[in-house]
Chains A and B, each alone.
Chain A
């Protein structure tokens, strides 16, 4: 049975990729992922805002209150050398991972500005990353900012980064656009070699005791897969880029659904956080069992088989499918 697939030009031994998460933050856990059968790994994200904020904070607090009082011209040692001020350690980690594992290593950048990213993208490539994933999740809060402005910001970022690297570029995108399919097309035109379809990674809640808003990590389940399936199905075979399904991949069945909808690969995070790296083996086992039971020979055989263009029920992906669902529920 052939579980291999192609993603961003790489041949993966199976369609399971470890998405950027705390589990991809250290060489030790990446090794465990590989040992359990993962086909590629996306290193935990380098957050542009975090780097910038930390830089500013350290710069600020190294100087704050200095040169104010004769006995204490500073409060922290001046002139110390920083070796990790601009993510140097992250780059070193990529080098270490790259040297230690044989699966493709994909670096991940998370942020919003076009300016700062290009520099880091280049550094990540130089550090040995096989590909780069961009996570541009901008949540506008201004009522004056118009949709096209935001879309253009995404496009500009992708094209700027693309100019600075020669490795494949994967872009993580959600479906919160007026026309996500058109947005996907434009991202590919701007230089994306692949798209990862995902739902928002964090959720908002309210703490009634503290009277404050909370941001919580979105630990998904298979039920979260819906939007990803829809857009994989819609985009399959339309853009000439790789597609990766993210958010809600928790079982071999979920992988099958995603691949049949059109995904070249599936990215896992919550399931591994919940059950550990060993769950990869279970997923692969389920996947192969199902394929055996249903006499499938390969992943490529089923890829896109239930996509919008290949399904026997295209209306499932369209708006009126909502009406059908409700009617079905009533009956």
Chain B
């Protein structure tokens, strides 16, 4: 054994470190939570890191997981050691190839960060549903339970697959293991080389297709031989368990860590046994030690090889004293007698019932931990207790309260397994403040520079803006097996004081724990600013209370709003986990390591922050009595129905775990319009309208990504009831009368403070040109008055929709948005378009939303932004999958058309019983604009009345269907990852269908939701994940491809460059009776600049020629007009003037100056090519008389 080297990494990195070393080809596609494995591999290869065979693995991003598995299959068939990483639906997309790979006895390992499947709702979190969904493919399933095991099993599985020729699926729990940062012993190359038999690698290569020794695979077989062929592989599967155990034994000799197919942990005479796999087994191990310490006799079998299920090895692992067994599955198979592992255990024991060395035990099965549901010692104790009963409950659930079918076991939620050797710390931070990064760094310091074990697990919010992060850190001299959140903390760091106003964070503090608060208040005031409940905990538990104004220190240290280093220094200074002096030295060492490559200045800035911290950290003297009267804010505000209050309110208050099964909608149907109740108050500054400067252009309203800025025109008489501070001015425009007033109002409690509105405002204050008609001001002093003004604004009558010109930007912005207060990032470039669609067509639209950012800010619990208008109409929204969205939306169209046709035919049939004129009007009604649609709605109201009077079955059916006689607008919305890559096949098919659907591509030029992986839309020269050195290829021109059909409406828009053309595009696209596609430039946090300048950059993108904007309207061809409207005039500025204002481009110059120069040349060429392409199209389509 070589010298032991410890590192602190998460599960994904632990696997990537091995997989990259022992493979030659890696084909990947991003999907949470497995994406980092691909990203690490890409990074290693981009840095020229070699595998143990001396080559740099080819890491290739594909267009989907289906594509990745196809590429893997191909590379394997051509003799390369090949792997992939995936999860969830991604794994399901690989199934067809997995059958092929297994059927051809091909050695490979797929590494899977196991994740829930999208059913009643999508979940990115961990369970075994995906893995259990591929049991039938012929892959061996190997489970690792911890970060160390994931590292080790990545190697063992590769060795075993080469020996057995059975492909392996190596899996570990998504997030709990994939994202847990842990101290592990790293495997050196010598171990890797010793485990990977070069003869077997050679044999694998020789099996590859080569014209030098040609063979043929993939034949089509017939009834005479196919069956025998299937059975021909049995011996390989029979041999596999022994081969794997041999490799585990060999690994033990090399590493000192010995694994078995089934590892038994517990008392040698245990009577009650749990059987499970994955990270939960670690917590069971911890609980078993506790229970046996209490004199119980319990045990645990950790299942390593889940499939093929090695019956003999399993029976050998069971202690002879066994009396009852609970098999725990982290999955659910509705309708099945039990879940897969339970089935295998029951079958194994039943089949050997005559030869068992013990009496047939009682066997029960249960489900736990779906979607990373907590699995704690208290739950485990409840299961062992259940096993002790004479008739234990079978098919139980644990961790939830099932009050519908009563499957759940009761457990003591207050039980906490004390572990005196561990130091447990919990930190509450804001997404953007660097808390998680600092904690990962602290783990690294302790895990690699001391003898202590360290573990970090991080819980993130469901919102992309202003989100809370919770870091759970454990340190100890013993290995850490606790795979659940910290329940009692020795240290609590609250990095944002505002959290204390909403949540009872100190509840989990142990008596005598240290409490650190980042507060803007000085020493003498800090105590008095705490809410009552916080003071109670501090006094009752005798907490040591320290405070610092970290933002002041950060500012003084030129750190901006990043308080990571400051809060980390505080932690080490007062927690006592390391001697203070030593800790500070280590922090500084770590700063040098982390920032050294970015220059001395960044290093010095952080050093200064450390020193300034120590000078500004103070202990708060705790009085003996509670003085605060400040109560916690209620999570929701406003008038809402009980479901919203009880269910959504609980989730918002971080109490979702307490909700019962009966409270959940069983089919995943949720009400819309709930984001209005969650007043998040996350904007430090919010816009304030300057009435006198305003020119009433409504640009701020259109740009606002969170729909918090609204305008209205109303009669002056309404001002009588206006609250203080609510102002208005005489309305401009021919449509408005003498008494009409214009106002702009801001939902200050919902604003994220992005300031995009300020940047788009064209009006400057005449006396002070650094002020505009809308200006950012501190939110706190405005909270109350702003909220009152907003409520009054909402109570004002709205302008009649039919009176407004919808294709005029200014007038369109008087339309009520039916998409508001989403969880999108501050300054989001997508949501202004989404909001616009909702304004224009929201009251009659159905949305098919591809998985991605727009499905997350559009449909992530607890609160959602799509809402209804006062008439109860609004967008109906659904998300199917990532890959099928165009088809999903087409399905909407087919159904709606069918309903409408059905209604028309019923109407025609019922004509004799109805007013003939009405029927005729309804059937012939044009519905091209709001007026015509309103007229049709009014006819339908009359029709409904008439139908109610007709006693006829068909009339009743028509009553149900007649709303479909009002035009419905089908919108298919998604990002470029969907439209250009994974969903392109479907999108293309839908474009070719001729059906009236509207496709909106929110083009951020990366996979934004999963963290900025490149797509085929990524611009040349942009750095993205999987294009770490900058993308070399030219982006796909999706618009040109769509135009080729000639009967598709195609628009490329950029609201920041031309908002008027954007609105026209949406109106024209929707009006066009055929397929339409709008490709909308959407700036994104992944571009790396302050998004308040998002619209400015959109303009630069258009002016550079890299994003030409135009509209291609096939309707105009029929009218003898040119269908092509060019809304931009070709390159006006150097591409560099657009590109180098964004980190994604600029960083290439810092990484590789030569490549950066070449990218600029390519980009400039692309700009010219695009210009010529669209000018040529314009010329081509010129009507003959023009030519």
Interface residues of B in 1007-1024 (CB under 8 A from A): 1008-1012, 1023-1024
Which bucket holds chain A's interface residue count? 35 or more
- Contact A82:B598 (CB < 8 A) given known A58-B1150, A63-B437: yes
**B1152 CB contacts on chain A under 8 angstroms:** 83-84
Determine if B1028 and A77 form an interchain contact, defined as CB atoms under 8 angstroms apart: yes
**Which B residues lie within 8 Å of A144 (CB)?**
none
- Given the complex, which residues of B lie within 8 Å of A89, measured CB to CB? 1149, 1153
Residue B825 interfacial (CB < 8 Å): yes
A56 engages B432 (CB within 8 Å): no
B464 is an interface residue with CB less than 8 A from chain A: yes
A81 touches B597 (CB 8 A): yes
Separation of A60 and B175 alpha carbons in the complex (Å): 26
Given A67-B434, A69-B467, A71-B1010, residue A80 in contact with residue B598 (CB < 8 A): no
Is B461 interfacial (CB 8 A cutoff)? yes
**In the assembled complex, A70 has its CB within 8 A of some CB on chain B:** yes
Which of A58, A61, A69, A77 has the largest number of chain B CB atoms within 10 A?
Answer: A77
Q: How many A-B residue pairs have CB under 8 A?
A: 148
- Known A66-B437, A67-B434; judge A58-B1153 contact (CB<8 A): no
**How long is the Cα–Cα vector from A61 to B562 in the complex, in angstroms?**
12
**Contact across chains for B431 and A69 when beta carbons are under 8 A apart:** yes
A72 and B1008 contact, Cβ closer than 8 Å, known pairs A84-B1153, A116-B601: yes
Contact of B1025 among A56, A58, A77 (CB under 8 A): A77
Contacting B598 at CB < 8 Å: which of A55, A73, A77, A119? A55
Partner of A75, one of B437, B458, B1012, B1153: B1012
* Residues in B whose Cβ lies below 8 Å from that of A11: none
Would you call B47 and A81 a contact (CB within 8 A)? yes
A247 to B506, CA, bound (A): 67
| Residues of B close to A92: CB separation below 8 A | 1153
Q: Are A58's CB and B1146's CB within 8 A?
A: yes
CB distance from A51 to the nearest CB of B (A): 8
Assuming the contacts A75-B1086, A77-B1028, A84-B1149, asked whether A68 and B467 have C-beta atoms less than 8 A apart, the reply is yes
Complex Cα distance A83/B1156, Å?
Answer: 12
CB pair A85 B32 closer than 8 Å: no
Contacts of B769 in A (CB 8 A): 211-212
Q: Which residues 812-857 in B have Cβ within 8 Å of A in the complex?
A: 825, 856
B246 contacts the other chain (Cβ, under 8 Å)? no
Within 8 A of A (CB), among B1128-1186: 1143-1144, 1146-1147, 1149-1153
Whether, in the assembled complex, A65 has its beta carbon less than 8 Å from a beta carbon of chain B, the answer is yes
A57 at the interface (CB under 8 A from B): yes
Chain B residues near A70 (CB-CB < 8 A): 32-33, 124, 175, 179, 460
Q: B599 at the A/B interface (Cβ < 8 Å)?
A: yes
Instruction: Give A207 Cβ to nearest chain B Cβ, in Å.
Output: 10
- List chain A residues, Cβ under 8 A from B46: 80
Q: Complex: how many Å from CA A63 to CA B437? A: 9
Judged by a CB distance under 8 angstroms, whether A76 is at the interface is yes
For the complex, what is the distance from the CA of A86 to the CA of B461, rounded to whole Å?
A: 37
**Chain A residue with the shortest CB-CB distance to B1147:** A58
Determine the chain A residues whose CB is within 8 A of the CB of B440 once the complex forms: 67
In whole angstroms, how far apart are the Cα atoms of A83 and B1153 in the complex?
8
Answer whether A84 and B467 are a contact pair too, CB < 8 Å, given A52-B601, A64-B1085.
no
Q: Is A146 an interface residue (CB 8 A)?
A: no
**Contact call B601/A61, Cβ cutoff below 8 A:** no
Interchain nearest-CB distance for A224 vs B (Å): 28
Are the C-beta atoms of A68 and B597 separated by less than 8 Å? no
Interface check A140, CB cutoff 8 A: no
Query: Is B486 interfacial (CB 8 A cutoff)?
Result: no
Considering the chains assembled together, what is the distance between the CA atoms of A89 and B124 in angstroms?
A: 43
- Pair A56/B43 contact, Cβ less than 8 Å: no
Report the minimum CB–CB distance from B591 to chain A (whole Å): 12
Nearest-neighbour CB distance to chain B for A67, whole angstroms, equals 4
Residues on B with C-beta less than 8 A from A78 are 43
- Give every chain B residue within 8 A of A167 (Cβ-Cβ): none
Closest to A65 in B: B1085
Which residues of the partner chain A approach B1146 to less than 8 Å between Cβ atoms? Answer: 54, 57-58
Check A62 for interface membership: any CB of B closer than 8 A: yes
Q: Does B595 contact A (CB under 8 A)?
A: yes
Given A58-B1143, A72-B1011, A76-B1088, A83-B1151 contact (CB < 8 Å)? yes
Is A68 touching B1147 in the complex (CB atoms < 8 A)?
no
Residues from chain A with Cβ under 8 Å of B1089 in the complex? 61
Closest chain A CB from B394 CB (angstroms): 34
Chain B residues whose C-beta falls within 8 Å of the C-beta of A61 in the assembled complex: 1088-1089, 1143
B531 contacts chain A at the CB level, 8 A cutoff: no
Cβ–Cβ < 8 Å partners of B461 in chain A: 68-69
B90 to chain A, nearest CB (A): 13
Q: Interface residue tally of chain B, by bracket? A: 35 or more
A79: Cβ under 8 A from any B Cβ = yes
Q: Is the CB of B1085 within 8 A of A75?
A: yes
**B856 closest partner in A (C-beta):** A71
* A73–B601 CB distance below 8 A: no
- The reply on B994 being an interface residue by CB < 8 A is no
Contact A80 B601 (CB under 8 A): no
Determine the distance from Cα of A55 to Cα of B1028 in the docked complex, in whole angstroms: 18
Q: When the two chains form their complex, are residues B39 and A65 in contact, meaning their CB atoms are under 8 A apart?
A: no
User: A67–B1088 contact, CB under 8 A?
Assistant: no
CB contact under 8 A between A55 and B437, given known A64-B1085, A73-B36:
no
Q: Does A59 contact B (CB under 8 A)?
A: yes
Q: In the complex the two chains form, what is the Cα distance from A52 to B1153 in whole Å?
A: 18
Within the assembled complex, what's the spacing in Å between the Cα atoms of A50 and B464? 31
Q: Which of B459-487 contact A (CB under 8 A)?
A: 460-461, 463-464, 467, 469
Cα distance, A61 to B469, chains bound together (Å): 19
> Complex Cα distance A57/B1024, Å?
17
Q: Does any Cβ of B come within 8 Å of A74's Cβ?
A: yes
Contact A81 B1151 (CB under 8 A): yes
List the B side residues contacting A75 at CB < 8 Å. Answer: 1008, 1011-1012, 1084-1086, 1088
User: Does any Cβ of A come within 8 Å of B560's Cβ?
Assistant: yes
A82–B764 CA distance with the chains assembled, in angstroms: 41
B436 CB–A CB distance under 8 Å:
yes
Among A52, A56, A59, A73, the one with the most B-chain Cβ atoms within 10 Å of its Cβ is: A73
Q: Hey, which chain B residues are within 8 Å of A74, CB to CB?
A: 1011-1012
| Chain A contacts for B599, CB-based, 8 A | 51, 55, 85-86
- B600 in the interface (beta carbon within 8 A): yes
Task: Given A68-B432, A70-B32, A71-B32, check contact A85 B601 (CB 8 Å).
Answer: no
Which B residue sits closest to A68, measured CB to CB? B431
- Minimum CB–CB distance for A233 against chain B, Å: 42
Tell me, in angstroms, the Cα distance from A57 to B1144 when the chains sit together: 11
> With A and B bound together, what is the CA distance between A56 and B124 in angstroms?
33
B1147 engages A80 (CB within 8 Å): yes
Contact A67 B1085 (CB under 8 A): no
- Contacting A72 at CB < 8 Å: which of B595, B602, B1012? B1012
A residues neighboring B (CB under 8 Å)? 51-52, 54-86, 89, 92, 116, 119, 211-212
A/B interface sample: 26 pairs, CB < 8 A: A58-B1146, A58-B1150, A61-B1143, A62-B1088, A64-B1085, A64-B1088, A65-B432, A65-B825, A67-B434, A67-B435, A67-B458, A68-B431, A70-B33, A71-B33, A71-B124, A72-B1009, A73-B1011, A74-B1012, A75-B1086, A77-B42, A77-B1023, A80-B1028, A80-B1151, A81-B597, A81-B1151, A83-B1150
Given A57-B1146, A74-B1012, 19 more contacts at CB 8 Å? Answer: A54-B1150, A55-B598, A58-B598, A59-B595, A59-B602, A62-B1143, A62-B1147, A67-B436, A68-B467, A69-B461, A73-B179, A75-B1008, A76-B1012, A77-B39, A77-B1024, A80-B1029, A80-B1151, A82-B597, A89-B1149
7 cross-chain pairs, A with B, having the tightest CB-CB distances, nearest first: A68-B431, A72-B1011, A67-B436, A61-B1088, A75-B1086, A61-B1143, A70-B460
B interface with A by C-beta (< 8 Å): 32-33, 36, 39, 42-43, 46-47, 124, 175, 179, 430-432, 434-437, 440, 458, 460-461, 463-464, 467, 469, 560, 562, 595, 597-602, 764, 769, 825, 856, 1008-1012, 1023-1025, 1028-1029, 1084-1086, 1088-1089, 1143-1144, 1146-1147, 1149-1153
